[in-house]
Chains A and B, each alone.
Chain A
Amino acid sequence: ETGVTQTPRHLVMGMTNKKSLKCEQHLGHNAMYWYKQSAKKPLELMFVYNFKEQTENNSVPSRFSPECPNSSHLFLHLHTLQPEDSALYLCASSQEALASGRALNEQFFGPGTRLTVL
């Protein structure tokens, strides 16, 4: 596997279900992100993890719970979601530390998980 992978690619869940989205990056990066993309809206940043520590929470409702067990993996745990949470959820990673000769801070995205909440 190369780049950033996400599973599952599609998910349909009821409002009472609990599910998790998984993201894995194979780029050796130290920062990972969750974004939400809804129809007709710009991408919205949800969470940022730097060196496994959460550094940003963009006022996301508590029914979304992120987890970053190591610098390569990022999860988004979902529970009691609402139909308006239906969207494409994108994971990204970047290298945020100084490293000579490398492009810094460029974000690389996974293919996304299309979530539908019934």
Chain B
Amino acid sequence: KQEVTQIPAALSVPEGENLVLNCSFTDSAIYNLQWFRQDPGKGLTSLLLIQSSQREQTSGRLNASLDKSSGRSTLYIAASQPGDSATYLCAVKKETSGSRLTFGEGTQLTVNP
């Protein structure tokens, strides 16, 4: 059974700092990995999707990397801003699981002005 773990569970940083969020998964036979952002009481916003054949994806100040063989992904946020404060979720789609995504519990990020 695929398990997804995100470390740390919570992170508080001053504005302007570069930071890294970690995601690990137990079964490396994945189809893709997706990073989401969730604001309190709201739905999920897709940030980046990395296919299993890719090593990284970039969007603005965000960069996500994937090391499929070691079962790890990182989300790098450059020059953090208070508006980046949210919960960040990692989810993997297994090769043989059809449409199913398995989610981690998320990292709650607070960026202090």
> At the interface, is chain B mostly helix, strand, loop or mixed?
strand
| Most central of B31, B32, B44, B103 by chain A CB within 10 Å | B44
Main SS at interface, chain A? strand
Whole-angstrom CA separation of A77 from B87 in the bound complex: 29
* Known contacts A43-B89, A109-B43, A112-B43; is-contact A103 B99 (Cβ 8 Å): no
A45 to B32, CA, bound (A): 17
Contacts of B102 in A (CB 8 A): 42
Residue contact A107 to B46, C-beta cutoff 8 Å: yes
A55 to B105, CA, bound (A): 25
Contact between chains at B49 and A103 (CB < 8 Å): yes
A90 CB-CB contact with B under 8 Å: yes
Number of interface residues of A (CB under 8 A): 28
B71 at the interface (CB under 8 A from A): no
Count contacts on B: residues with CB < 8 A to the other chain: 24
Which residues from B are CB-within-8-Å of A109? 36, 43-46
- Quick check: A48 and B43 within 8 Å, CB to CB? no
Interface residue? A94 (CB, 8 A): yes
In the assembled complex, the Cα of A80 lies from the Cα of B56 at a distance in Å of: 46
Question: Does B61 interact with chain A (Cβ within 8 Å)?
Answer: no
Please measure, in the bound complex, the distance between the C-alpha atom of A93 and the C-alpha atom of B85, giving whole angstroms: 25
Nearest chain B CB to A88 CB, angstrom units: 7
A contact residues vs B (CB 8 Å cutoff): 4, 6, 31, 33, 40-43, 45, 48, 50, 55-56, 88, 90, 92, 94, 96, 103, 105-112, 114
